[in-house]
Amino acid sequence: MNTKFSIFPYLIIGIGLGGVLSIGYNSWESCSFFDYFVGFYGIFYLLAIPYSHQLKRLCYTTLLPALLACLPFVFHQAQHAFSAIFLAIISGYMLNGFHIHYLKHRWKLHYSTLFYAVWDSWVKLMAIAFFTALCWIILLLTGSLFSLIKITFLKAWIDNNSFGIFCVSIFSALGFYLTTKTERVLQQIRGIFLFLFRMLFVPLSAIGIIFILSAIGMYFTSQHFSLDHATLATIAFLSVIFANAVYEDGKTHRKIPSFIVYQHRIFLILTPLFTLLALYAIIFHANNNIAANGLTRDNFACLLSFSLLLLYNLAYAIIACRFKKPWMLGVEKINVVLACIVVATTVIAFSPLLSYFLPQITMVETPQ
């Protein structure tokens, strides 16, 4: 990874992005295609600088992932439900990982690079968000402090949305630069999170197994129980994250007690039941269920997100069923293929093309 870049490319990008995004800004829903494209382009470009030795080539390799990432937001199809926003962000996050991998290895798959690009980018974005928030707090305190002595123009500037966006862009660009200079620290933080997720997978898998067994027992004893699609889907989603934290890139071998490995395998085999129950809830039991209300923006986004999550859970369950083979062997290619499916599905589903064939998705509003 190249860490010899100066601060100037980051400042130039930050100032340029801030200037473009702050012009004519009113609200999130008023953002244009150009605004979203510039925003994603800047994020992908700044995240990829340490992995590229030629900034000129980086300028055009960032175009396609930025375009694909912004499309779900451009037509405002992903702005009406949390699940839609979350899925669009996940898609953009995957595109960033593919972009970084391409810069290092072109089209030859190196799963280690892809894995650590995904996790390192997440740690960087968290650190950048924290740094930007602290800078913004200091800026707010500065405006309030000087307003005490009747110097109010600073507070007036800070209260202006355009000025705020400009400052946040510069703060974020500086955050990107600082994370590049503290690469070893970020890798250690990444290691801490992976360790925590590995530890948390033990109680999560135990809780999941106990829940499924209890639910089956209640079903056969004709006892009524409720279904909450958000809770069920969250458990299934965390199982994917934690399982990858345990496996990492497949090259890091740790001794895991046999009973823990079997516990993880059994949980992954049962995990599709969580997603299936979440799908059943959104179709028949949720407040905005499809059976009673038809397809709306909200329940369509949930249906799509849960269906994609089910693909992950089913794939992991199949891998976990192979008890005679090493833990999670073969998950690398599965993750790459499923990530491509998520990106393609998200771009297509939240585009005007789907709305043309399924107009009810955009015409039917969520009942209040």
- 103 part of a folded domain: yes
Which among 125, 126, 101 has a CA at the least distance from the CA of 332? 101
More confident residue, 26 or 154: 154
| Same domain as 177, residue 193 | no
Contact at 8 Å (CB) between 308 and 235? no
pLDDT at 266: 94
Domain's final residue, options 181, 216, 251? 181
Residue numbers of the domain that contains 323 = 188-363
| Same domain as 227, residue 196 | yes
Please, what's the largest Cα pairwise distance for the chain?
75
Confidence of residue 353 (pLDDT cuts 50, 70, 90): low
pLDDT tens-place string over residues 258-303: 889 899 999 999 999 999 999 999 998 888 788 887 777 778 888 9
| Same domain as 289, residue 257 | yes
Give the count of beta carbons closer than 10 Å to the beta carbon of residue 34.
13
| Same domain as 108, residue 34 | yes
pLDDT at 30: 62
Which among 104, 88, 85, 87 has a CA at the least distance from the CA of 47? 104
The model's pTM is 0.86
Say how far apart CA 81 and CA 79 lie, in whole Å: 6
More confident residue, 106 or 266: 266
**How much of the chain exceeds pLDDT 90, in percent?**
44
**How much of the chain exceeds pLDDT 70, in percent?**
89
Say how far apart CA 208 and CA 232 lie, in whole Å: 10
| Same domain as 269, residue 158 | no
- 2 part of a folded domain: no
Asked whether the predicted pLDDT for residue 156 surpasses 70, the reply is: yes
- 3 part of a folded domain: no
- 1 part of a folded domain: no
| Same domain as 238, residue 203 | yes
| Same domain as 65, residue 43 | yes
pLDDT tens-place string over residues 234-249: 999 999 999 999 888 7
pLDDT at 293: 79
Confidence of residue 204 (pLDDT cuts 50, 70, 90): very high
| Same domain as 150, residue 289 | no
| Same domain as 38, residue 54 | yes
Asked whether the predicted pLDDT for residue 360 surpasses 70, the reply is: no
pLDDT tens-place string over residues 21-77: 888 666 555 677 788 888 899 999 999 988 887 777 888 899 999 999 988 887 655
Number of domains in the chain: 2
| Same domain as 194, residue 175 | no
